């Protein structure tokens, strides 16, 4: 479907053509007409599917058609990075219109507060906000959400995971009941449906690729002991000298520094940086900018980046460890092969991560190809198709396991398996 077929305003069509979107993606094709008709929409779609445009285009169409004034549209998101990114995309779409927008998020040292306050008091049309910061402004009394016509909850599953549910409920108390609500989530877990039941009215349900990585991603995995992982990165980079943008994910913030310095030690002249939620906002933006501009070849990140962040041209995503939440795997892997591009995702599985990885394979409904560890890295742990239950056979199995894996600190004894 082309965007012309959506019968949207010329000013939007022109901006869309400048953005080089040629045809609507499946979620856009399904959900935009419903949203344009004014329905509430509940969409199951991961990032990378084009979901941002799915809610921005109908909002902008309405603002143009009705010559909206003041704050009429609120987009609530889990992270500041996502807020900034949505605002940037919105600025693209609204380039030929009078629509104004502002990303409102915490973490800055005061400077931005006044600017955000001004956005509220001067009647900016679209606010893209993280829940905590929005509430902080709301408490000061100058935010007027009484004319909100469009409410979007983006990455609702993530917001629930991050414990924002009470904040969201509080915000809803300030917004008119008569409005259009669009909710996007990568998964449709029961608690998401529950939330949807309370805030959407007769929603149209749209489901795109139920939490599966985009088609263009080649996925593979290596079994590897923790001490083999940095050498494995070196090996992969040697095999792919043309890769210039590599994103490495780890679940733990404290690993970031050691991975970055180990990589720098092993690979001469490589540019590598880390990023996590511990970084100041300015620092985060600068690190991201350098990575986007390809000044930094390797970025090591926690899952803070795995949702929503849209950086084009990432050749390879490496999961240094297996994420705890299978949905995070989809998000991490989704950082490569954005839209129609090709990309590669490689996961390092240590013995203690096998069960987690099986859950991921169940979620994506296919096994991921396990590649043999290069011989020079030594022996890899063995992928076991049937995992022993920790309580059963404990005598033999635990002894064996303690002995074999003592060196890399992962004995899987009885007490550690809770």
Q: What angle do CA 29, 343, 273 make, to 5 degrees?
A: 115
Q: Looking at beta carbons only, is 137 or 338 nearer to ligand AMP?
A: 338
Nearest of 190, 193, 217 to residue 203 by alpha carbon: 193
Per-residue interface string for the shown chain with ligand AMP, residues 298-317, x marking contact by CB under 6 A: ------------x-------
Nearest-approach distance from CB 150 to ligand AMP, in angstroms? 17
CB of 351 to ligand AMP, least distance (A): 35
Examine residue 2 and tell whether it contacts ligand AMP (CB under 6 A). no
Task: Give the residue, chosen from 6, 15, 25, 84, that forms a contact with ligand AMP under the rule CB under 6 A.
Answer: 25
Q: How many whole angstroms separate alpha carbon 1 and alpha carbon 29?
A: 7
291 binds ligand AMP (CB under 6 A): no
Q: Is 339 left (phi over 0), alpha (psi -120 to 50) or beta?
A: left
Answer for which of 30, 44, 49, 84 binds ligand AMP (CB under 6 A) is: 49
Establish if 184 lies at the interface with ligand AMP (CB under 6 A). Answer: no
Q: Does 213 bind ligand AMP (CB under 6 A)?
A: no
Query: What is the gyration radius of the CA atoms in the chain, in angstroms?
Result: 23
- Indicate the residue among 339 and 355 with the shorter CB distance to ligand AMP: 339
> Is the CB of 140 or the CB of 339 nearer to ligand AMP?
339
Based on the shown chain and the rule CB under 6 A, indicate whether residue 78 belongs to the binding site for ligand AMP: no
Closest approach of ligand AMP to the CB of residue 28, in Å: 6
Q: Compare residues 49 and 185 and give the one whose CB is closer to ligand AMP.
A: 49
In angstroms, the Cα distances linking 200 to 29, 41, 224, 384 are 21, 8, 46, 44
- DSSP-assigned letter for residue 390: S
Site for ligand AMP in 319-338 (CB under 6 A): 338
Smallest gap from residue 418 Cβ to ligand AMP (A):
37
- Spell out, one character per residue from 337 to 376, where the chain touches ligand AMP: x when CB under 6 A holds, - when not: -xx-------------------------------------
Size of residue set near ligand AMP by CB under 6 A: 15
DSSP string, 275-286: E-TTS-HHHHHH
* Backbone phi, psi, residue 249, to 5°: -105, 140
Q: How far is the CB of 338 from ligand AMP (least distance, A)?
A: 5
What six digits make up the tokens of 70?
């003041």
Contact range with ligand AMP by CB under 6 A, out of 51-59, 105-113, 134-142, 146-154: 51-59
Q: DSSP code of 313?
A: T
Q: What does the alpha-carbon distance between residue 131 and residue 77 come to, in Å, rounded to a whole number?
A: 7
Residue selected from 6, 8, 12, 21 as contacting ligand AMP according to rule CB under 6 A: 21
Q: For residue 261, how many other CB atoms are within 10 A of its CB?
A: 13
Which of 32, 48, 63, 87 is the binder for ligand AMP (CB under 6 A)? 48
> By C-beta, is 116 or 187 nearer to ligand AMP?
187
**Minimum Å distance from CB 137 to ligand AMP?**
26
Size (the chain), residues:
418
H or E segment to which residue 328 belongs:
helix 326-333
Minimum distance from CB of 255 to ligand AMP (Å)?
27
Q: Which residues of 147-172 are buried (b: 16+ CB within 10 A; e: fewer)?
A: ebbbbbbbbbbbbbbeebbebbeebb
Q: Which stretch binds ligand AMP (CB under 6 A): 41-49, 145-153, 223-231, 263-271?
A: 41-49
Q: Which is nearer to ligand AMP, 16 or 256 (CB)?
A: 16
Among residues 138 and 314, whose Cβ is nearest to ligand AMP?
314
Number of alpha helices (DSSP H) and beta strands (DSSP E) in the chain: 15, 14
CB under 8 Å, gap of 24 or more: what pairs does 275-278 form?
275/299, 275/300, 275/301, 275/302, 275/304, 275/305, 276/301, 276/302, 276/304, 277/253, 277/302, 277/304, 278/253
53 contributes a contact to ligand AMP by CB under 6 A: yes
Instruction: Kindly list the residues in this chain that would bind ligand AMP in the complex (CB under 6 A).
Output: 21, 24-25, 28, 47-53, 89, 310, 338-339
């Amino acid at each position: 479907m082309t965007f012309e077929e959506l019968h949207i305003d010329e000013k939007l069509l022109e901006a869309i053509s400048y953005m080089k979107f040629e045809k609507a993606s499946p979620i856009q094709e399904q959900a935009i007409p419903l949203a344009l008709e004014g329905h509430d929409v509940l969409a199951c779609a991961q990032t990378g599917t084009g979901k941002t445009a799915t809610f921005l285009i109908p909002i902008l169409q309405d603002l143009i058609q009705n010559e909206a004034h003041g704050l009429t549209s609120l987009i609530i998101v889990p992270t500041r990075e996502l807020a900034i990114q949505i605002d940037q995309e919105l600025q693209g779409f609204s380039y030929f219109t009078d629509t104004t927008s502002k990303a409102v998020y915490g973490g800055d040292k005061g400077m931005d507060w006044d600017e955000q306050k001004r956005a509220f008091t001067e009647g900016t049309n679209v606010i893209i906000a993280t829940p905590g910061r929005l509430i902080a402004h709301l408490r000061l009394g100058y935010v007027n959400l009484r004319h909100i016509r469009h409410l979007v909850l983006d990455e609702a599953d993530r917001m629930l995971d991050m414990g924002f549910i009470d904040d969201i409920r509080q915000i809803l108390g300030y917004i008119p009941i008569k409005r259009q609500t669009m909710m996007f989530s990568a998964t449709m877990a029961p608690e998401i449906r529950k939330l949807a039941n309370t805030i959407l009215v007769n929603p149209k349900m749209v489901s795109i690729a139920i939490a599966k990585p985009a088609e263009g991603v080649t996925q593979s995995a290596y079994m590897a002991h923790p001490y083999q992982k940095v050498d494995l990165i070196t090996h992969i980079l040697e095999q792919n000298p043309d890769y210039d943008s590599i994103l490495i994910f780890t679940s733990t913030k404290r690993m970031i520094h050691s991975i970055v310095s180990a990589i720098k030690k092993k690979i001469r002249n490589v540019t590598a940086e880390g990023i996590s939620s511990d970084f100041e906002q300015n620092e985060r933006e600068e690190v991201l900018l350098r990575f986007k501009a390809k000044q930094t070849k390797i970025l090591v990140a926690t899952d803070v980046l795995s949702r929503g962040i849209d950086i084009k041209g990432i050749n390879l995503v490496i999961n240094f460890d297996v994420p705890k939440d299978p949905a995070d795997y989809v998000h991490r892997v989704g950082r490569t092969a954005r839209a129609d591009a090709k990309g590669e995702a490689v996961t390092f599985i240590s013995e203690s991560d096998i069960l987690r990885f099986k859950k991921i394979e169940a979620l994506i409904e296919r096994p991921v190809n396990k590649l043999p560890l290069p011989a020079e890295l030594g022996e890899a742990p063995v992928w076991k198709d049937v995992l022993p239950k920790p309580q059963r056979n404990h005598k033999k199995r635990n002894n064996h396991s303690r002995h074999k894996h003592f060196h890399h600190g992962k004995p899987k004894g009885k007490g550690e398996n809770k």
